[in-house]
Amino acid sequence: MNNYFKKSSVIAISIVVFLGLLVSYNVNASTDNETKDIISAYRQVKEISLPKISIPKVAEIPFDSNGLERADFLVFDTTIQTFQPSLLIKKEIKENRSASIVVSGLDNQNFYSERMTDNNDNTYAEIPLPNSGLGNARIILESDTEITSNSVFILLDNYVALPKTISVYSGEDNNLKTILSSQVVNSQVVNFPKTTSKRWVFDLTYGQPLRITEIRLGGLSTNLDETYKLRFLAQPDHQYNVYFNPDRHTNVSLGEMPNLYDNEGVMTLPISISKENKGFVPSDVDKDGIEDTKDNCVNVANFDQKDEDNNGRGDACDDYDKDGVINSLDNCRDIPNYNQADSDGDKIGDVCDPTESRLTEQYKWLPWLGIGLAGIIVIVLFVFTAMSMKDKNKNV
């Protein structure tokens, strides 16, 4: 009895341990996948080389703003595989800048354009799409002092496609100087010849609704260049990577924030080389192989990117019949049918489904019943004919 009890206890303990290991493995695997997903949003990485320290110290890393699309940084402790809290210190910009938006064909011009210059990637100005055709928007960026620049950053919210084309001008409306004639937009950074001006005008065409978080000129003048300092608490014998320049926002769970504002005992690190993040995966929310910023249907998979009317919206997310249902979901693509009625359930809307076919489509066994009845009639006729021939032969 004692031996049996001991064996049973060993088996029970083994099962509990196995289940615990299995749960732990699944949790770790899930955590690893989540970490990879977060890191995949960042284009670049710095592998931080720390001096030998015996106690935790606040490390400060300088960053140059040139080439930075987003001031979004993420510190990853590679030793314990966790993200760490950090503090970004920006150099103040002296120039006061404001932005405004004018969209042709739309009466309501309130698009919260000030959000494009508030240095906050979590806010955006939403530019709606006209009822038909391409959208045309003019963004005007004004500054109290002259700005010398050779590029503009058009930073978008998550899961938003780039505008189709951009033209760049400087000066007043009655005396605009063309800096860049209409050019296809392939990136959130658009380069143009070096120019100095207080007033900049950007004309955009777009085929899908735009949400712009920030519009920022690439600074060449010394008084415009921004510098960033990133601080985090470094632990002895730990290694760190700093990821930056993401193409989308990420939600990261961090531990308790230490006091990184205290300047005492800060360990300033030299400028280090930036590398491409090999784990970077461009945002592709609909998983069709086309990254969001270049996808003519951001939220609907369309591998072929077909756009028959060339309006900047792929056929899959266009609405040809203007009934409020996009083509890929519309059971009658060319004829308006707001209620999507489909009496026979064949996925073809009633308004474009031939009336004569509905009975047989609703009762798919009817054609087979007809064929069966016809076959039976043929057989019966054949039997009667055979019997008649037999009777005739007997009489002869």
Q: What CATH number is associated with residue 202?
A: 2.60.120.260
In a shared domain, residues 172 and 129: yes
Tokens of 383: 């039997």
CA atoms within 13 A of residue 149's CA, in its CB half-sphere: 28
User: How many Å apart are CA 315 and CA 300, to the nearest integer?
Assistant: 10
pLDDT for 23 beyond 50: no
Which tens digit of pLDDT belongs to each residue from 59-112? 999 987 766 778 889 999 999 999 999 999 876 555 567 888 888 766 666 788
In a shared domain, residues 190 and 257: no
User: How many Å apart are CA 133 and CA 138, to the nearest integer?
Assistant: 16
Q: Binning pLDDT at 50, 70 and 90, where does residue 209 land?
A: confident
What is the pLDDT, as a whole number, of residue 119? 80
Gap between the terminal Cα atoms of the chain: 100
pLDDT for 335 beyond 70: yes
pLDDT for 271 beyond 90: no
In a shared domain, residues 167 and 203: yes
In a shared domain, residues 85 and 175: no
Determine how many CB atoms are found less than 10 A away from the CB of residue 42. 25
pLDDT for 132 beyond 60: yes
The candidate with the shortest Cα–Cα distance to 208, out of 99, 107, 333, 307, is: 307
Residue 203: give the domain boundaries: 97-219
Tell me how many domains the chain contains. Answer: 3
The residues that bridge with 177 in the sheet, in sequence order, are 170
The candidate with the shortest Cα–Cα distance to 337, out of 73, 329, 192, is: 329
Which tens digit of pLDDT belongs to each residue from 380-392? 777 777 677 666 6
pLDDT for 222 beyond 50: no
In a shared domain, residues 183 and 126: yes
